[in-house]
């Protein structure tokens, strides 16, 4: 089960990256969540055919990942995993939208191709921002911050346990899968008729484990309030980070910096 | 009756599917005693343990911890007095780091932050796991997980410690460390186990459960010499009590 074990190692790397101590790591998690959400909304609010105005937004993931010591290669690997889905969303755009928007010499580029590229760029921006947020904050801290921001505890607790037990669940999937492979003489992949009862088995195991964890929590005085962190005020650096990036996003959203730079450089050359 | 004594009186319990797990179980355990509950699979050991801190409530009969009877109303008091260590440490360690896990109980007890810190660090020190405090549970070895699981309970300062199969999955070193740790504690100790050598090292008293009933209750040395009883209850004499196989084979009794 190399794939599942590889995925587990990847999750563990997130924890390692989140335990670094950088300027970005020290920023309050609530601020990082708000800034990331604002970034994502700014990026997705552009129209379908926008490309040039999106490019300057790469400054956010680039700056935060550099300051937060998150390797670009790690983010790129995550993007490569997600990009096929983005391509699938926009794959038919070139067929439906054949209206020519740009001509470079004899090459005519239709609106469909431009919207496909726009979807890819937006996916790269939003996914990298999400990955970086988790890497510089840590999943558990994000859950606590969401709780501080007023998200109801049942939701944040679910997220918290999902992350804690994803390792245990994956190990159980590994055991079930190994048990199957060791007794599957043909070496063929698991068919749907085998897969379905195994999935049911996994659900029952998960259910039993959830009951045992709940018992263990009750035994230690759990009374319905979980991992509650008091709401603390933001400090000056947090506020600067929040308003600074918000200002940059507003500027980039309403001004096409690429076009401006292009004109500036052309002007200087001329 | 002191706070750390246990009185079990005519305890009966059946699971919702109708399986009778415990039938008229009665026992008194004094403060400071180390008692092992042994029996074959399905004898009712874990069910009995789950009753001791109110995870299960008696269908008939009653259990008293000190002078307090276990009822729905007394659960919070009972759980402060009886620390329960579950069989699988992964079920016990659900917080992101070891420190937060050990602090979970004191936090729920409503203690001050200073007291929580003091108790957490002391519990970790007691199980020799202070150096693990910032680690996530999945990075711990089996033995470390078990020690931390015990610390999560010790931090609540219970008077009674209940352990379900404490040596399952441990290697020889981990098992030895656990035995030394448990020997050093002054709590009333109740453990359910199949590890009879562990029982010999830690417990002076043994309760044998068979099909939900108490088949025997007495000193460990006596119970383990009663070969008929062990056979009837699907148990075996601990290896260290059996004679040398070569000498026994030659007709020489050890």
- List pLDDT tens digits, range A240-266: 999 999 999 999 999 888 888 888 888
Stretch A32-61: mean pLDDT: 93
Domain boundaries, position B223: 6-90+158-249
Q: Which residues form the domain of A98?
A: 2-137+233-269
Are residues A56 and A97 both part of a single domain? yes
In a domain, B86, yes or no: yes
Classify residue B175: in a domain, yes or no. Answer: yes
HSE-CB at A177 with a 13 A cutoff on CA atoms is 14
Residues 22..81 of B with a Cβ closer than 8 Å to A: which? Answer: 50, 53, 55, 76, 79-80
Residue B14 placed within a domain: yes
Q: Does A21 touch chain B (CB under 8 A)?
A: no
Which pLDDT value is given to residue A192? 81
Domain count along chain A: 2
Q: Do A119 and A246 have their domain in common?
A: yes
Shared-domain flag, residues A121 and A165:
no
Q: Does A75 share its domain with A120?
A: yes
Average pLDDT of the residues in A27-51: 93
Taking the CA of residue B133 and the nearest CA in chain A, the distance in Å comes to: 14
Q: Let me know whether A123 and A211 are in one domain.
A: no
Is residue B163 situated within a structural domain? yes
Which residues of B, range 102-121, sit inside 8 Å of A by Cβ? 104-105, 108-109
Q: Is the pTM of this model over 0.80?
A: no
What pLDDT is attached to residue A30?
Answer: 94
- Whether B51 is covered by a domain: the verdict is yes
In this predicted structure, what is the pLDDT of residue A167? 73
**Contact between chains at A164 and B50 (C-beta distance less than 8 A):** no
In a domain, A146, yes or no: no
Query: Does residue A56 sit in the same domain as residue A158?
Result: no
Q: Considering chain B, what is the average pLDDT of its residues?
A: 89
A130 with A191, same domain? no
Q: What is the pLDDT of residue B177?
A: 86
Cβ distance A4 to A173 under 8 Å?
A: yes
The phi and psi torsions of A60 (rounded to 5 degrees) equal -65, -60
Give me the CATH number covering residue B19. 3.40.50.300
Interchain CB contact of B197 with A (< 8 Å) = no
* pLDDT beneath 70, residues of chain B: 1-3, 248-254
pLDDT digits (tens, 9 = 90+) for A200-223: 888 888 888 888 888 898 888 887
Total domains present in chain B: 1
Residues A158 and A90 in one domain: no
pLDDT of residue A1: 45
Is B185 domain-assigned? yes
Ordered DSSP codes for B44-95: SHHHHHHHHTTSS--SEEEEEETTEE--STTHHHHHHHEEEE-SSHHHH--S
Q: Which residues in chain B have their CB less than 8 angstroms from residue A217's CB?
A: 94, 104
Residue % of chain A over a pLDDT of 70: 94
């Amino acid at each position: 089960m190399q794939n599942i074990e590889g995925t587990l190692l990847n999750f563990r790397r997130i924890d390692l990256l989140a335990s670094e101590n950088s300027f970005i790591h020290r920023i309050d998690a609530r601020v990082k969540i708000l800034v990331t959400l604002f970034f994502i909304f700014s990026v997705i609010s552009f129209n379908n055919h926008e490309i040039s105005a999106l490019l300057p937004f790469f400054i956010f993931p680039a700056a935060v990942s550099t300051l937060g010591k998150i390797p670009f290669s790690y983010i790129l690997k995550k993007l490569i995993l997600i990009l096929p889905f983005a391509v699938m969303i926009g794959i038919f755009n070139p067929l439906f939208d054949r209206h020519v928007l740009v001509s470079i010499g004899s090459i005519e580029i239709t609106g469909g191709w431009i919207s496909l590229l726009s979807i890819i760029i937006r996916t790269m921006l939003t996914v990298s921002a999400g990955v970086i947020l988790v890497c510089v904050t840590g999943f558990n801290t994000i859950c606590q911050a969401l709780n501080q921001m007023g998200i109801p505890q049942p939701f944040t607790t679910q997220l918290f346990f999902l992350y804690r037990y994803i390792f245990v669940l994956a190990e159980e999937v590994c055991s079930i899968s190994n048990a199957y492979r060791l007794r599957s003489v043909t070496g063929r992949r698991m068919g749907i008729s085998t897969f379905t009862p195994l999935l049911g088995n996994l659900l029952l195991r998960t259910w039993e484990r959830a009951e045992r964890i709940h018992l263990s929590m009750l035994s230690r005085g759990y009374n319905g309030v979980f991992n509650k962190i008091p709401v603390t005020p933001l400090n000056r650096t947090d506020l600067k980070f929040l308003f600074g990036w918000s200002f940059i996003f507003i500027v980039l959203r309403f001004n096409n910096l690429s076009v401006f730079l292009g004109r500036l450089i052309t002007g200087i050359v001329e | 009756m002191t706070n750390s004594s246990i009185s079990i009186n005519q305890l009966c319990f059946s699971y919702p599917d109708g399986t009778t797990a415990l039938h008229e179980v009665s026992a008194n355990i004094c403060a400071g005693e180390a008692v092992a509950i042994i029996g074959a699979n399905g004898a009712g050991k874990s069910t009995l343990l789950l009753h001791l801190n109110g995870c299960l409530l008696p269908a008939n009969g009653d259990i008293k911890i000190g002078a307090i009877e276990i009822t729905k109303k007394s659960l919070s008091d009972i759980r402060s007095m009886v620390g329960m260590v579950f069989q699988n440490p992964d079920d016990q360690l659900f917080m992101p780091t070891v420190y937060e896990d050990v602090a979970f109980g004191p936090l729920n007890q409503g203690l001050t932050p200073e007291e929580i810190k003091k108790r957490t660090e002391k519990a970790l020190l007691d199980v020799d796991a202070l150096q693990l405090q910032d680690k996530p549970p999945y990075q711990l070895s089996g033995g470390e997980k078990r020690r931390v699981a015990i610390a999560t309970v010790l931090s609540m300062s219970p008077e009674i410690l209940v352990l379900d199969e404490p040596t399952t999955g441990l290697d020889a070193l981990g098992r030895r460390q656990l035995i030394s740790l448990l020997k050093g504690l002054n709590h009333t100790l109740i453990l359910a186990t199949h590890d009879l050598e562990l029982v010999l090292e830690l417990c002076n008293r043994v309760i044998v459960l068979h099909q939900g009933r108490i088949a025997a209750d007495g000193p460990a040395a006596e119970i383990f010499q009663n070969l008929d009883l062990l056979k009837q209850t699907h148990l075996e004499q601990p290896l260290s009590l059996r004679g040398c196989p070569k000498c026994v084979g030659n007709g020489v009794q050890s």
